[in-house]
Amino acid sequence: MPDLNELPEVNEANSDAPVKDAKSGNWVDRFAPAPTRPYLRLSRADRPVGTWLLYLPCLWGLGLAMLGTGSASFMDLWIAVGCGIGAFLMRGAGCTWNDITDRNFDGRVERTKSRPIPSGQVSVRGAAIWMAVQMGVAGLILLTFPLPAIILGLISLGPVAIYPFAKRFTWWPQVFLGIAFNWGALVAYTAHRDAIDWAVILLYLAGIMWTLFYDTVYAHQDKEDDALIGIKSTARLFGDKTIVALRYFLMGVVVLMGAAVVLAMTPNAHALAIVVALGGPWAMGWHLAWQMRHFDGDDTDVCLRLFRSNRDAGLIPVLFFAASLLL
């Protein structure tokens, strides 16, 4: 556990400095009250793609559950809204925890040294309090869900707590990120169906493959600094063979998500509805293939742009699942 008594001096000169890898002119820098900006930056609110990547598997899980039962209700609307708010809060809490544990590393990496803790905008104790507040509000939302989903939501805290340390002991920290970031698929599916089955397990595994894809691309931004300070990642592990690995991850997404759709919808769903739902993983696969064609592991701007494009990639199955449900 990090020592919260290690309190860096809050640097007033940096108290309103934006984070390097945030888009210029983002809503936090433009509209948020000045005292809140360091904390919102700590939660990555100025970089919303991470919230999308946490939220979209929730929508996958909910959509697959509704396709399996062929029904929807007002409770499902709340599950979608509640998961969205919870994704924002828990992504913020997880990023805060990540920055607390990584503060000594972040200050030595060019892309991350401007983050609120290493730059002195927020103290470690202040960050810990902010993390607890976010988790508390997210917990209140979780309590509105059915009991099986609540239990799953509480279990998810384990992977979230472990992830920041994974890059210190394994070349596959992206697996731990995938376990944590796609847990919402299990929660949302269970909130609708009150149970876990093989269909959602396959969907969950597809999500982990997706995370391996996009976070390997993302990690190429830091591979040189990571090598200097001894941080492990799949980007460093695969090196020049990254494209080969990405191809396998792409196939994993398409095959596992497609199998999840077939398993959830047969034998009760109409054949046309199944075909439309299967269009989701196939179309998403084409988007990932487009990313592969443009991938350049030595160009940090390209890597960041491709990483951000995964919001659109993850939305594709949501749209196809919705169209299938209408049938």
Burial class (CB in 10 A: 0-12, 13-18, 19+), 136: exposed
Q: Tokens at residue 190, please? A: 């269970």
Statement: residue 8 has pLDDT above 90:
no
Q: Is residue 312 in some structural domain?
A: yes
| Cβ atoms within 10 Å of 25's Cβ, excluding its own | 8
pLDDT confidence of 29, banded at 50, 70, 90? Answer: confident
Statement: residue 4 has pLDDT above 70:
no
Determine the average pLDDT of the residues in 219-247. 93
Q: Is residue 72 in some structural domain?
A: yes
Question: Residue 221: its pLDDT value, please?
Answer: 93
What CA–CA distances, in Å, run from 1 to 97, 100, 130?
Answer: 11, 10, 17
pLDDT confidence of 10, banded at 50, 70, 90? Answer: very low
Which pLDDT tens digit goes with each residue over 263-290? 999 988 899 999 999 999 999 999 999 9
Amino acid at 43: S
Nearest to 143 by CA among 86, 98, 196: 86
Burial readout 88-114 (b: 16 or more C-beta within 10 A, e: otherwise): bbbbbbbbbbbbbbbbebbbebeebeb
> Helices 310-326 and 198-219 meet at what angle, rounded to 10?
160
Question: Residue 312: its pLDDT value, please?
Answer: 98
Statement: residue 119 has pLDDT above 90:
no
Question: Residue 15: its pLDDT value, please?
Answer: 56
Determine the average pLDDT of the residues in 201-205. 98
Question: Residue 104: its pLDDT value, please?
Answer: 81
Rounded distance, CA 67 to CA 321, Å?
A: 7
Question: Residue 71: its pLDDT value, please?
Answer: 86
pLDDT confidence of 305, banded at 50, 70, 90? Answer: very high
| Of 55-64, 102-111, 181-190, minimum mean pLDDT range | 102-111
Q: Tokens at residue 250, please? A: 């792409």
Which pLDDT tens digit goes with each residue over 38-97? 999 999 998 899 999 999 999 999 999 999 998 888 999 999 999 999 999 999 999 999
Q: Is residue 12 in some structural domain?
A: no
Domain that holds residue 247: 20-326
What CA–CA distances, in Å, run from 56 to 49, 53, 204, 243, 257?
Answer: 10, 6, 12, 24, 14
Q: Is residue 1 in some structural domain?
A: no
Q: Is residue 268 in some structural domain?
A: yes
Question: Residue 5: its pLDDT value, please?
Answer: 44
Q: Is residue 314 in some structural domain?
A: yes
Statement: residue 146 has pLDDT above 50:
yes
The CATH code of the domain that includes 127 is 1.10.357.140
Determine the average pLDDT of the residues in 221-228. 88
Which pLDDT tens digit goes with each residue over 291-303? 999 999 999 999 9
Determine the average pLDDT of the residues in 234-256. 97
Number of structural domains, the chain?
A: 1
pLDDT confidence of 23, banded at 50, 70, 90? Answer: confident
Rounded distance, CA 128 to CA 199, Å?
A: 37
Question: Residue 16: its pLDDT value, please?
Answer: 67
Rounded distance, CA 187 to CA 196, Å?
A: 9
Statement: residue 198 has pLDDT above 90:
yes
Q: Is residue 8 in some structural domain?
A: no
The percent of residues above 70 in pLDDT, for the chain, comes to 94
Q: Is residue 14 in some structural domain?
A: no
